[in-house]
Amino acid sequence: MQKNKKLLTTLLLLIILPILVVIYIFGFGNIGIFNPVKIASNLTKPDLKSTDGRINILILGIDKRTEGNVVTSVLTDTILVASIGITEKNLTLISLPRDLWVTSKLGISGKINSVYAQYDQSKKGMIGPEGTKEVASQVLGIPIHYNVTINFEVFKKIIDTLGVLMLR
């Protein structure tokens, strides 16, 4: 029972974490505290990547499990794409189901949440966020310019920063 409760808590945190981050960062835009759409639309920096007036950001919620010093699992349990319209001054969030069947750049077919952890022999390491970004871009048919990875440590820092959350 304790193991099931811990698993349920872990899954809820992985689902709620990215949503809380997006709400915290983007939700305050309506009351003028922090408005990333306004900030992005006012940028004149020429090296900011965008396509058709939109900046697309992949947001990954990572569940990295270890036993001792050995990493046993690295899955992206939450996969979101935030698309910021610079000219329209809007934000669109797209959630990709973690069980979506895809083929990675290595030619390995499987669930999209396992792409991050696929091992690339030529690079001597995991495909990671860049490989996941390529697959998500293919699935959605849009370029993805940036990516953000959030794990439990980041989640803890966000909660510590926010303080007590009152749920109604």
Quick one: tokens of 106? Answer: 């290595």
d(CA 125, CA 87): 39
DSSP string, 98-133: TT-EEE-TTS-EEEGGGGGG-EETTTTEE-HHHHHH
Higher pLDDT, 38 or 156: 156
Residues 6-33 pLDDT 10s: 666 666 666 666 666 666 555 544 444 5
The alpha-helical segments, DSSP class H, found in the chain are: 2-27, 36-42, 128-140, 152-162
Its pTM stands at 0.64
Residues 89-139 pLDDT 10s: 888 899 999 899 999 888 889 999 888 888 777 777 677 888 899 999 999
77 three-state secondary structure: strand
Return the residue matching tokens 């001792």. 68
pLDDT of residue 163: 72
Quick one: tokens of 152? Answer: 């439990």
Question: Residue 76 CB: number of other CB atoms within 10 A?
Answer: 26
Q: Considering only CA atoms, which of 117, 86, 90, 85 is closest in space to residue 104?
A: 117
Quick one: tokens of 135? Answer: 């697959």
Q: How confident is the model at residue 58 (pLDDT cuts 50, 70, 90)?
A: very high
Contact predicate 21/158, CB 8 Å: yes
pLDDT of residue 38: 60
